[in-house]
Amino acid sequence: MSTQPEGRRARGKRERAARIAEAAARLFDESPFPEVTTQAIAQAADVAEGTLFRYACSKTELLVMALNTRFDAALDAGLAAAARRDPLDTVGRLDALAGALLFIGADRPDNAALYQRELLFPTMSGDYLTEGERIARRWEQAIAEPFEDLAAAQPQASPQASEAPTEPTAVGHVSTPARLAGSAAWDAIQLSVARRARAGLPPLSRADLRGQFELLARALTRPEVVTNTTNTQQESR
């Protein structure tokens, strides 16, 4: 099946969007969110400020636009690092994924936390928010996969422990013990990002996160925990 070549206008629009996203990411890397202006982003992207607002309606949307690319690329890097681990090194695979995500917010945790908050409690709508939510779903699925592999490898593993749901799940929705463990690990990683941005709150270290991953993995290998979790979910329906 042949595809139509990209037209000049569409190519120009895509290239401008890329320039704006790159300029916004660079400026948000250099300064806290309140100090970055849309005028500065427009100048750095070599576009008029009016043109800028054809691509993003607000500075918050520009942040989401810029960090979507970063979080998506970080997931690919994390998956590549996790793939170099033993398939049943659950904690090692999770640590590789967490490290890739935490690396993004290492220099500007305030902006990473703002991006995270916008996905959870959006003040805007549009394609960039939708894309951010898609990336978050990819992250949550990636975090769940090591637990699903661990559960599937257990002797006489209960199908409910590792079975993937027959329908796509939204962020935060769980239907198996492995997915429940993945959701808990994902929440811990997000909390670590948020705490780094709050003065006075001790951040969760990589060692802290590894400890939480280890506890979740141990719980998942205990038949009584899996059985009780499955029964509780059934009773709550």
- Which of 12-21, 40-49, 78-87, 148-157 bottoms out in mean pLDDT, i.e. has the lowest? 148-157
Distances in Å between the alpha carbon of 95 and those of 10, 39, 72, 148, 184? Answer: 40, 39, 17, 16, 14
pLDDT of residue 171: 47
| Cα 70 from Cα 68, distance rounded (Å) | 5
pLDDT of residue 168: 44
Query: Looking at the predicted structure, is the pLDDT value of residue 147 above 60?
Result: yes
Query: Looking at the predicted structure, is the pLDDT value of residue 203 above 80?
Result: no
pLDDT of residue 26: 93
Of all residues in the chain, what percent carry a pLDDT higher than 70? Answer: 81
pLDDT of residue 107: 77
pLDDT of residue 85: 96
| Cα 165 from Cα 221, distance rounded (Å) | 20
The DSSP line for 19-70 is HHHHHHHHHHHHS-GGG--HHHHHHHHTS-HHHHHHH-SSHHHHHHHHHHHH
Query: Looking at the predicted structure, is the pLDDT value of residue 57 above 70?
Result: yes
When pLDDT is cut at 50, 70 and 90, the band that residue 154 belongs to is confident
How big is the chain, counted in residues? 237
When pLDDT is cut at 50, 70 and 90, the band that residue 9 belongs to is confident
Q: How many degrees, rounded to 5, is the angle at CA 73 between CA 41 and CA 98?
A: 115
When pLDDT is cut at 50, 70 and 90, the band that residue 128 belongs to is very high
- Hey, how many other C-beta atoms are within 10 angstroms of the C-beta on 185? 26
Residue 2: helix, strand or coil by DSSP?
coil
pLDDT of residue 233: 47
- Which of 25-34, 58-67, 153-162 bottoms out in mean pLDDT, i.e. has the lowest? 153-162
Query: What is the crossing angle of helices 59-83 and 90-104, to 10°?
Result: 150
- The pair phi, psi for residue 148, each rounded to 5°, is -65, -40
**Averaged pLDDT, 110-120:** 91
The DSSP line for 109-171 is HHHHHHHHHHHHS-S--SHHHHHHHHHHHHHHHHHHHHHHHHHHTSTT--HHHHPPPSS---T
pLDDT tens per residue, range 178-190: 999 999 999 999 8
Query: Looking at the predicted structure, is the pLDDT value of residue 202 above 80?
Result: no
pLDDT of residue 3: 55
Of all residues in the chain, what percent carry a pLDDT higher than 90? Answer: 58
Instruction: Say which residue, 123 or 106, is predicted with more confidence.
Output: 123
pLDDT of residue 47: 94
| Cα 73 from Cα 69, distance rounded (Å) | 6
| Cα 13 from Cα 5, distance rounded (Å) | 15
Summary mean pLDDT of the chain: 84
Query: Looking at the predicted structure, is the pLDDT value of residue 218 above 50?
Result: yes
Residue for token pair 């989401």 = 64
**Averaged pLDDT, 202-211:** 86
Structure tokens at 71: 């979080």
| Cα 210 from Cα 179, distance rounded (Å) | 18
Residues 6+ apart with CB under 8 A from 59: 33, 36, 37, 38, 41
